[in-house]
Amino acid sequence: MKIEMDNDFRGNAYIIQKDEVLLNYSGGYADMANEIPNTIETRFASASMGKTFVAVGILQLIEARKLKFEDTLGSLLDIDLKSIDPDVTVKQLLNHTSGVPDYFDESVMDDYEALWTDFPNYRIRHNEDMLPLFIDKPMMYPKGVKFQYNNTGYILLAMIIEKIAGMDFDVYLKQNVFDKCGMHDTGYFAFDRLPSRCANSYIYCPETEDFRTNIYSVGAKGTGDGGAFVTVGDIVKFWNGLIGYKLLSGKMVKEMFSKQSGDGKDPEEGYYGYGVWLIDNPEGRDYVYMQGCDDGVSAISEYNPDNGMITVMLSNYGDNVWSRMRKIREEEYA
């Protein structure tokens, strides 16, 4: 069985099932000005997909008994939390029920670039660099009351990793997640120090009918809420490491892939586990996916535990990976 990809998709798409490659597609340019095409080895920015990596790091520390789900922000971080409830727990941060002030509240904001009007994005190179964007804001709602997707929560989780591990969160993830899975092309790279094979991410400008890169639209280097550069091959290695219990125990993976929050009212968005989204599957095990979206960036990767299919779609033009993933579910999961 082979799966076709429409030729107007700009990015990489890769689907594998039990070691059989069903789709291996590359389209568009990694570097438009120099007409360098995307290839299977191109590294793409992945936006919030990185939350899944951070969640794994936190769960590893819990399994190592260096951290507990019920540990609180106030007991873990040596910073002035101001109006943030110090009793917010690690679990509430993981499943987006913390209520901490979100520096980018996606329920009311849609222009990520606007964040950098008064605070230059080139300053963002560490998690603590994000503090001025949220630390003076009030709680969004009392902790534990409801699910609401929250970027700040994963900044704080990354800071917790740094406090406990005694190293930058991306160094911890390299040593304890990426290297263990053989993800040698994955990392958190600064825009002014990008290694080879990293794609530019492009934003279309309708007023001039051309494209610009997103280097002034997101932080200069990824933080706990996202920003890792990945390849499609490395994402497959990550899934295989996770479901092969190289990173976490079988019990913890099951918990990570269980519905921890959300109400499922939007059947496509589904529920939330720990660092992953879940789509209810009444006829089998729930579909597990991670996703990311920034200016010029769109990314989704899904694992179907019923048929073993792993799908990865990464675009450096912000192309609609969600509609294409929906088509995969409709046509290939039956």
Give CA–CA dist 240/283, Å, rounded. Answer: 23
Query: CA torsion sign, 239 to 225 to 182 to 39?
Result: positive
Residue for token pair 């490659």 = 21
Residue for token pair 């409709």 = 330
DSSP state of 176: I
Give CA–CA dist 102/140, Å, rounded. Answer: 8
199 conformational bin, left if phi > 0, alpha if psi -120 to 50, beta if neither: beta
The per-residue pLDDT for 108 is 58
11-332: CATH topology is Beta-lactamase (3.40.710)
* pTM given for the model: 0.96
Centroid of chain to Cα 158: 13
Kindly report, residue by residue over 222-273, the tens digit of the pLDDT. Answer: 999 999 999 999 999 999 999 999 999 999 999 999 999 999 888 888 999 9
What is the domain partition of the chain in residue ranges? Answer: 11-332
The per-residue pLDDT for 111 is 64
Residue-wise DSSP of 6-53: -TT--EEEEEEETTEEEEEEEESEEETTTTEEP-TT-BEE-GGGHHHH
Stretches where the chain sits below pLDDT 50 are: none
Tokens linked to 308: 């073993």
Give CA–CA dist 277/270, Å, rounded. Answer: 7
Kindly report, residue by residue over 141-175, the tens digit of the pLDDT. Answer: 999 999 999 999 999 999 999 999 999 999 999 99
The per-residue pLDDT for 112 is 61
The per-residue pLDDT for 1 is 65
The per-residue pLDDT for 330 is 92
